[in-house]
Chains A and B, each alone.
Chain A
């Protein structure tokens, strides 16, 4: 092994896990200092990750991929799975994102959860999440990845329902859990297919053999594997058709939404697909479906985002849409992998920053999330307004902010290809950029610009809720400032000289440069024009004109978008109700046919016994007569048989 720090990899998982165990096992005794232990565990993990990153940067590019095997995990006949850690530029990118953003959000949470009696438990769950997420990205086999995959699902469930005193929160947690199970089923089936096709589930064996596997097992099997992996990714990353849980997941505390449901966990699906790149390339049909799902979700999230008045749900719809961009890029093949991860990274920064800003606004507005009751907050919350503003410019893709470098590259990559695909995917991505600009500007202007639609307790504000907004404490503003700096600069720094793409090449392979069907300068101009148009429309509608405090009457599409394009109704009528009818029919047939059959048999035997009991009359003579009769019958039979 050329990387000296390779053996540090297990500590990346162990450190936050120890933090979680101490906080969750020791219980109330750690209440006073537990949150700082959580921050320390996360920060220590970041330091370990940083040491490994620096070592990796000092290693020649072709020696940056390594595995650290701790020991044998499963050894059962032909199946052999090692407990091993995959350390390469892709997993290190995630390690840095998770631990850096994670640590910032830990710090933020110290202040955000200040008045919560269960703050220590909250930090225990956060540490558990960091450990599981790092296991997910560092695993060197699908099976170990699955352990982390389930771990983040558990942490997500526990944190969405953290305030489970309220029924909706507990229901939201359960909804996320159940919908994620559907996706997990895909990953389980994919692993079984991999075992059947390749006889192994570790990346080192499966991925290099993907091409031969396609030749041996047929493209149908590879397509099935690809689609099952996509199903898993859809569940975790809230893509169509398993997207409905993400909006409700906003029931969790805002730092959770920032860390888990914006920056890291929901992007695990993109990680899974990029990691499985060779498998998808062996199944072009599945790859096309990935791109279609990404493009559809991109539009779906963007449309929903335009109509949401709940600041967190608007951001959640935006997350869904941005992950749609990443999925689209992942479905484009090697030309898109690096940009999918690049956008994931920059999105992790600016979306976490936006969520932390939303949390800060909610803090100031007594936990109100209705943007129609915000307005004019820029003067009162200057730090929040500026940091969120920078995040807003980044997600819009305004140069030179981070989002410009990553999102424009995806749009450009979407326009590469032949036939109808570049036009459909490219125009979808382009249109998505315009809608993104509209809904994010709407969110920003509704919150910070215009006249205030809340009351400061003075006269003349009849009916408006009384609020006393104030800027959040330094523990909350500093993480926001750091993330805002990342939103501004990270994209540009990593994009210069294609640094990030080159950095990922040991994993994603070198992609030949292809010219898009439209010239690049035209694409950039078109994107910027659409972004400006979107932002201008939002400015006119929500900053210049007065925002009504009640949702105004609107056309059918907007009304549908306000209820998430009827996603719950669709799920309920297509899946839930038929499922309920099916189970009820099964219960009924079980009761009538199966139970009825056996109970009837038992009853029949009972009645027969009652009938036969009458012969048991207690008279010895009748028993003797029966015996004699039996003897006669036996004698008769013997006589008949003998003659």
Chain B
């Protein structure tokens, strides 16, 4: 199997994630889109590590996972707090910083 297929998969996954973030309103679903993009990136990192025979990409993937885990913790906490105060998980309802 061509190794570049992994990169194509990563690109498709990233595009799906990005589309999810841009189009969906539910904060949880947007969050899932973000996770999908991160994992697509991880896949690309690991693939490049494999291509170059260098473990740097794999190490970076680990970093991304750790940061993503931390981000999930903080992000979910924020979403829950917003839901408690506004009774809504829609990202369009939190536009207090508009002009």
Residues of A at the B interface (CB closer than 8 Å) are 613-614, 616-621, 624-625, 628
Contact = CB atoms under 8 A, between A and B. Distances in A.
Contact of A616 (B23, B30, B98): B98
Nearest to A616: B99
B95 interface: yes
B91 A620 contact: yes
B22 interface: yes
Chain B interface bracket (under 10, 10 to 19, 20 to 34, 35 or more): 10 to 19
B32 interface: no
A619 B99 contact: no
Given A624-B21, A628-B18, A617 B91 contact: no
A621 B97 contact: no
Nearest to B18: A628
30 contacts: A613-B99, A614-B99, A616-B98, A617-B95, A617-B98, A617-B99, A618-B94, A618-B95, A618-B96, A618-B97, A618-B98, A618-B99, A619-B91, A619-B92, A619-B95, A620-B30, A620-B91, A620-B94, A621-B21, A621-B22, A621-B23, A621-B25, A621-B30, A621-B91, A621-B92, A624-B18, A624-B21, A624-B22, A625-B22, A628-B18
Contacts of B25: 621
Contacts of B97: 616, 618
B68 to A, nearest CB: 17
A621 B23 CA distance: 7
Nearest to B23: A621
Contacts of B92: 619, 621
Contacts of A624: 18, 21-22
Contacts of A614: 99
Interface of B: 18, 21-23, 25, 30, 91-92, 94-99
A60 B18 CA distance: 110
Contacts of B99: 613-614, 616-618
Nearest to A610: B99
Contacts of A613: 99
A628 B15 CA distance: 11
Contacts of B94: 618, 620
A contacts with B: majority SS: helix
Query: Top 3 nearest A-B pairs by Cβ distance?
Result: A618-B95, A618-B98, A613-B99
Contacts of A619: 91-92, 95, 98
B80 to A, nearest CB: 17
Nearest to B91: A620
A621 B97 CA distance: 13
B95 A628 contact: no
Contacts of B22: 621, 624-625, 628
Contacts of A625: 22
Nearest to A625: B22
A625 B33 CA distance: 13
A616 B95 CA distance: 10
Contacts of A618: 94-99
A49 B45 CA distance: 102
A620 B22 CA distance: 9
A80 B96 CA distance: 71
Given A613-B99, A618-B95, A624-B22, 4 more contacts: A618-B94, A619-B91, A620-B91, A621-B21
Q: Interface centre among B30, B96, B97, by most A CB within 10 Å?
A: B97
A613 B91 CA distance: 20
A619 B22 CA distance: 10
Contacts of A616: 97-99
Nearest to B95: A618
B78 to A, nearest CB: 12
Nearest to A617: B98
Nearest to A612: B99
Nearest to B21: A624
Contacts of B30: 620-621
A131 to B, nearest CB: 71
A616 B18 CA distance: 20
A613 B92 CA distance: 18
B94 to A, nearest CB: 7
A621 B95 CA distance: 11
A620 B93 CA distance: 10
A617 B92 CA distance: 10
Nearest to B27: A620
